[in-house]
């Protein structure tokens, strides 16, 4: 039985999405919570496409059946084991023959399976449309402040205390700064980032504040979709502060790992022009000698504080001291409760 895209959001909470596309298609992006049980592998999909183009659809289907028929019993067992009794939502690229075949086989085997009309393509269109225009069901609360303040750590404390947070940097696998890739691998596609963000935001309880960290429009190689960035700019602004000593200490704690040293040196050279050659060479010397406190102090004073928020022309709706995270989280949640 086919199901149309508008119902995906409710089905994701009750059905197991089964992606029967090739592994490469799945790796680029897929429905939240989906498992990949490919009907064709990457090479076979390319082969079928070539046959379809050169010989026609009939020959392509015959070859597809020849390649896949022997896999059907194992596919059913794999899907059933993953489902653990949940009904199934089967999809391919456009809701065509691949998902129809698997959904039909599952139904013949006695399992409840829906085929997603329009496939991943229709889901992708829904995600893109969700962010333009982006109309959040919950008030956006945006944490701003200089580098090293500890905004990401504050998000963790807020979540532990019952606040609803979306960690944009965590979703993007990047901290959003010149040194933001250290210890992380940002190998997700723009489509994957948008799907992860869509899935996180859709779960926000209506009316409850949705707390995010202030970011640039780009986070590493991915960008905030649609007008999400503009809606963040119009949200509740929380200005976070902490002393220079605290910020330096937190940066040393986060980045001060010997295995980061080489990548830190590379990242430092990427901002050489903004730092100036003399300062850059001085910081490179600190790094080489593993003098982390003067290194981080120089980065904060000569780079981060001169680049970020340099054109800030607004006052925060709430000012928050982040010297102590638990106390700060309590203060912010109390403020949001009173103002909400």
Domain that holds residue 281: 140-339
Instruction: Give yes or no: residues 18 and 81 share one domain.
Output: yes
Shared domain for 206 and 235, answered yes or no, is yes
Least confident residue range of 71-75, 159-163, 314-318, 329-333 = 314-318
Measured distance CA(326)–CA(143) in Å, rounded: 15
Domain co-membership, 146 together with 294: yes
- Whether pTM > 0.85 for this model: the answer is yes
State both tokens at 173.
Answer: 């696998």
**227 and 312 within one domain:** yes
Average pLDDT over residues 138-150: 93
Q: Are residues 161 and 296 in the same domain?
A: yes
Residues 291 and 317 both lie in one domain: yes
Q: Please check the confidence at residue 111 and state whether its pLDDT lies above 90.
A: yes
In a shared domain, residues 178 and 83: no
Q: How many domains does the chain have?
A: 2
Tens digit of each residue's pLDDT (9 = 90 or more) over 75-98 = 999 999 999 999 999 999 999 999
Pick the last residue of a domain from 81, 105, 130. Answer: 130
Write the CA distances from 8 to 3, 21, 92, 201, integer angstroms.
8, 18, 14, 15
* pLDDT the model gives residue 340: 67
Give yes or no: residues 98 and 245 share one domain.
Answer: no
Question: Domain for residue 209, yes or no?
Answer: yes
pLDDT for 316: 87
Question: Looking at 107, 130, 153, which one is the last position of a domain?
Answer: 130
Q: What is the pLDDT of residues 117-135, one digit of tens each?
A: 999 999 999 999 999 999 9
High-pLDDT (> 90) share of the chain, %:
72
By C-alpha distance, which of 3, 1, 21, 35 is closest to 126?
3
Q: Is the pLDDT of residue 288 over 90?
A: yes
- Same domain for 144 and 126: no
Confidence check: pLDDT of 1 > 60? no
CATH number at residue 179: 3.40.50
**196 in any annotated domain:** yes
CB of 120 within 8 A of CB of 189? no
306 is a domain residue: yes
- Which of 130, 156, 185 is a domain's end point? 130
| Residue 205 shares a structural domain with residue 322 | yes
Give the CATH number of the domain where residue 44 resides. Answer: 3.40.250.10
Task: Please compute the mean of the pLDDT values over residues 98-127 and round it to a whole number.
Answer: 94
The DSSP element (H or E) to which 2 belongs, if any, is strand 2-3
Average of per-residue pLDDT values in the chain: 92
In a domain, 162, yes or no: yes
* Whether pLDDT at 146 is above 80: yes
Q: Which residues are catalytic?
A: 92
Residue 315 has pLDDT above 60, yes or no: yes
Looking at residue 324, its pLDDT comes to 97
154-158 contacts, C-beta under 8 A, 24 or more apart:
154/240, 154/322, 154/325, 154/328, 154/329, 154/332, 155/211, 155/213, 157/325, 157/326, 157/328, 157/329, 158/211, 158/329, 158/332, 158/333
Tell me whether residue 283 is in a domain: yes
pLDDT at 231 exceeding the cut of 90: yes
Asked whether residue 60 is domain-assigned, the answer is yes
- The reply to whether 215 and 265 lie within a common domain is yes
**Domain presence at residue 135:** no
**Cα–Cα distance for residue pair 24/26, rounded to 1 Å:** 5
Q: Are residues 103 and 31 in the same domain?
A: yes
Instruction: Tokens 């600190």: give the residue.
Output: 286
Across residues 254-270, what is the average pLDDT? 91
Q: What is the pLDDT of residue 66?
A: 85
Q: Is residue 257 part of a domain?
A: yes
SS3 state at 146: coil
pLDDT for 5: 55
């Amino acid at each position: 039985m086919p199901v149309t895209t508008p119902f995906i959001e409710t089905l994701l909470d009750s059905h197991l999405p089964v992606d029967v596309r090739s592994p490469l298609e799945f790796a680029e992006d897929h429905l939240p919570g989906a498992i990949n049980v490919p009907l064709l592998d990457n090479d076979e999909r390319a082969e079928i496409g070539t046959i379809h183009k050169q010989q026609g659809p009939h020959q392509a289907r015959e070859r597809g059946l020849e390649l896949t028929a022997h896999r059907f019993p194992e596919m059913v067992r794999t899907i059933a084991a993953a489902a653990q009794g949940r009904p199934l939502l089967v999809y391919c690229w456009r809701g065509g023959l691949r998902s129809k075949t698997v959904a039909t086989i599952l139904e013949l085997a006695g399992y409840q399976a829906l085929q997603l009309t329009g496939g991943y393509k229709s889901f992708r269109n829904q995600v893109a449309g969700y962010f333009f225009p982006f109309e959040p069901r919950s008030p956006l609360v945006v944490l701003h402040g200089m580098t090293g303040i500890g905004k990401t750590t504050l998000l963790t404390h807020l979540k532990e205390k019952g606040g609803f947070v979306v960690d944009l940097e965590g979703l993007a696998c990047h901290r959003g700064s010149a040194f933001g890739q250290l210890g992380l691998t940002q190998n997700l596609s723009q489509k994957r980032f948008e799907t992860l963000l869509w899935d996180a935001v859709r779960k926000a309880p209506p009316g409850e504040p949705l707390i995010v960290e202030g970011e640039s429009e780009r986070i590493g190689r991915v960008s905030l979709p649609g007008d999400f960035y503009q809606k963040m700019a119009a949200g509740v602004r929380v200005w976070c502060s902490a002393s220079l000593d605290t910020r330096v200490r937190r940066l040393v704690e986060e980045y001060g790992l010997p295995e980061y040293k080489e990548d830190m040196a590379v990242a430092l050279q990427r901002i050489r022009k903004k730092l100036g050659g003399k300062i850059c060479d001085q910081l490179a010397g600190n790094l080489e000698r593993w003098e982390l406190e003067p290194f981080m102090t120089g980065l904060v004073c000569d780079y981060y504080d001169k680049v970020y928020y340099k054109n800030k022309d607004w006052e925060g709706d709430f000012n928050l001291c982040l010297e102590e995270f638990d106390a700060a989280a309590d203060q912010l949640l109390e403020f949001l409760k009173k103002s909400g």
